[in-house]
Structure 1
Amino acid sequence: MRRRVGVGLVALVLSSAAFGTSGPFAKSLIEAGWSPGAVVLLRIAGAAALLLPIGLWQVRHQMRAVVRELPLVGLYGCLAVAAAQLGYFQAVERLAVGVALLIEYLGIVLVVLAVWVLTRRAPHRLTGVGIVLALVGLALVLDVTGQRTPDLVGVAWGLLAATGLAGHYVLAARETTLPSFTFAALGLGSGAVVLGVLGATGVLPMVAGDSRVDVAGHATPAWLALAELVVVAAAVAYVLGVLGARHLGSTLASFVGLTEVLFAVLFAWLVLGELPGPWQLVGGVVILAGVAAVRLGERARAEDGERDGADFDLPSPVA
């Protein structure tokens, strides 16, 4: 597929905005007695049920291609969907939300390391600058200050979430014969199966809470909050995320995806009335600087690759 940076940027920013809506609605459900496991399973399973019929219809004449790509799709579902969701929600039970999210976004470092290992080429120095700026910006946006020594078990769950996040950007950027829509649908389906098994075995508690939840100070049906999580925060978010990653490549996509934190802060302000502080605004600027730095680093690396006749992107999976 020919990569278009403009299309990729728009798709991934919209994906980040969609993902960013999940926080306020999920929080309203959890505060009404819903367990995190139940919320995430309904979110992923609902999105899979919504997307799979359309995704399979797109490839109705290419079922052999679907079978060939099942290992990649299954790995994406396990890492990008199940591990990322399970790791994050488990970490939140033991750590402050900001700390858990910061640990999860260490996955961007894992992306750079994965590209380094697979291509055997060190990232450009500007990419390294982007890593530092992005992590500093995240710390400012999340306002992670004055924390005591974190729970080590919670840190371990956060690292699992980071691995899942890295898996999303690395695997979504791999070239496949499947359309982005179908790939996302199958990935959500496989992730839902994994989460369902964890729930059935008691590893992931499943508790349904009240039928009405508080959203922006208004009593709202729980099904409406769940519908937002399924349609916007999962279905739309994952489809656009896969499309954007394929156009941008895994490294740049992982940095643009950091804007999810900014959108999460914005929606928390609009829906929950949680106003961002001045340091969070500064952190947003620093994150954008990190995105710009990694973009310059990727461009410089691509120019070096053209002069050397080498391709530094992630290799395609073996058919």
Structure 2
Amino acid sequence: MATLTHDTIAPTVAPRLGSGLAFALVASASFGLSGSLGRGLMDLGWTAGAATLVRVAIAAAVLLIPGIIALRGRWELVRRSWATIVAYGAFAVAGAQLFYFMAVQHLPVSVALLIEYLAPVVVVLFMWLRHGHRPTRLTLGGAGIAFAGLVLLLDVLGGGEISIVGILWALGAMVGASVYFILSGDDSNGLPPLTLAAGGMLSALAILSIAALAGVLPVTFATGTVEFVPFAAPWWAVVLVLGIVTASVSYVAGIAANRRLGSRLGSFVALTEVLAAALFAWFLLGQVPGPMQIGGALLVVAGVVVVKLGERPAETPLESLLEPPAVSDPPAPVAV
């Protein structure tokens, strides 16, 4: 195998890194808007199940044709990776979205999202248990910092009221986000980002529809005007933005970002979604965090950053980008 030099690498890596960061920021901004829009619909009378079902249905309709076109007739990729598509739809789409919307019914948007974004810690634990990548002391220290920040964020020491139900839903969303980072960063299956996103949306739509028809998932819709702090909007406009921007755009951009940056760096940059969600919640819902919560949020973010810096594979983000992909036989379906 020929040795790559810096002269031949630099022109390739720089655009890949730049486009990956751009896609990641687009995904963070569009993902971050979902909590505030979903909370607005639920305040109108929608259930979390209804908001999730409509969001996924719109995204599936928008992405279906582009996903088929991106496949270019290579249907064997879908047949070979059906388990990955189903797992992505069940956990990264249906589970993450539904549990997050359930969480924001009981917790502020930014708090629910920060709990969900403890996902990188779960990713490290998964890599340890599944692949034997033992975490370093720095990683364990980062997990401790993140836990301390979570205590402050939930105002445990201040005697604040804790919604156990909201925390449990947010932890469920954290599991879904962990699967999202693991599967969307894996390009060994050859699925184009548009195809994986479309397949995941269709899979999630089927799962949610079956659950709704069986009566397991409560689904209640409402019409009228959604009241936000600075303005009011008709319900259908909020639903369209929720489905097109916060689902279609966000998932495609997120997959494209993680395939350029890798799961490790991608989940690090995705922390900007927390800032986006907090700003949207402040602007649209008037949810202003207190000093204790701001301090806790900073500790959670700092802890996750330390966790990422303490991971063993690829000492730097640049090395993770320069590492050539392994050439192997057609991949087996990913089991989660």
TM-score higher than 0.5: yes
Task: Indicate the residue corresponding to 1:179 in structure 2.
Answer: 192
For 1:116-156, what per-residue CA distance to the aligned partner results, in whole angstroms no more than 9, with x for missing partners? 223312134333344344444455566665345654x6655
- AA partner of residue 180 (structure 1): P
Distance 1:235 1:146, change over 3 A: farther
Aligned residues: 310
Distance 1:108 1:296, change over 3 A: closer
The partner residue of 1:248 within 261, 272, 276 is 261
Superposition deviation, residue 197 in structure 1: 0.9
The partner residue of 2:134 within 122, 125, 140 is 122
Instruction: Give the TM-score taking structure 2 as reference length.
Output: 0.79
1:57-206 equivalences in 2 (<5 Å): 57-91=69-103, 95-97=106-108, 101=113, 103-137=115-149, 146-148=159-161, 150-151=163-164, 156-175=168-187, 176-206=189-219
**Does the CA-based 8 Å contact 2:39-2:101 persist in structure 1?**
no
Superposition deviation, residue 288 in structure 1: 5.0
Superposition deviation, residue 115 in structure 1: 1.4
**Does the CA-based 8 Å contact 2:229-2:284 persist in structure 1?**
yes
- AA partner of residue 260 (structure 1): E
Task: Indicate the residue corresponding to 1:21 in structure 2.
Answer: 33
**Does the CA-based 8 Å contact 1:17-1:263 persist in structure 2?**
yes
Matched, 1:47 2:92: no
Secondary structure in structure 1 of the residue aligned to 2:313: helix
How far apart, in 2, do the equivalents of 1:36 and 1:137 lie?
Answer: 27
**Does the CA-based 8 Å contact 2:52-2:94 persist in structure 1?**
no
Task: Indicate the residue corresponding to 1:239 in structure 2.
Answer: 252
Superposition deviation, residue 285 in structure 1: 4.3
Structure 2, gaps ≥5 residues long: 1-11
How far apart, in 1, do the equivalents of 2:261 and 2:121 lie?
Answer: 17
**Does the CA-based 8 Å contact 1:91-1:155 persist in structure 2?**
yes
- AA partner of residue 273 (structure 2): E
- State the identity as a percent: 42
**Does the CA-based 8 Å contact 1:79-1:167 persist in structure 2?**
yes
Distance 1:228 1:44, change over 3 A: same
Task: Indicate the residue corresponding to 1:293 in structure 2.
Answer: 306
**Does the CA-based 8 Å contact 2:32-2:280 persist in structure 1?**
yes
How far apart, in 1, do the equivalents of 2:23 and 2:201 lie?
Answer: 18
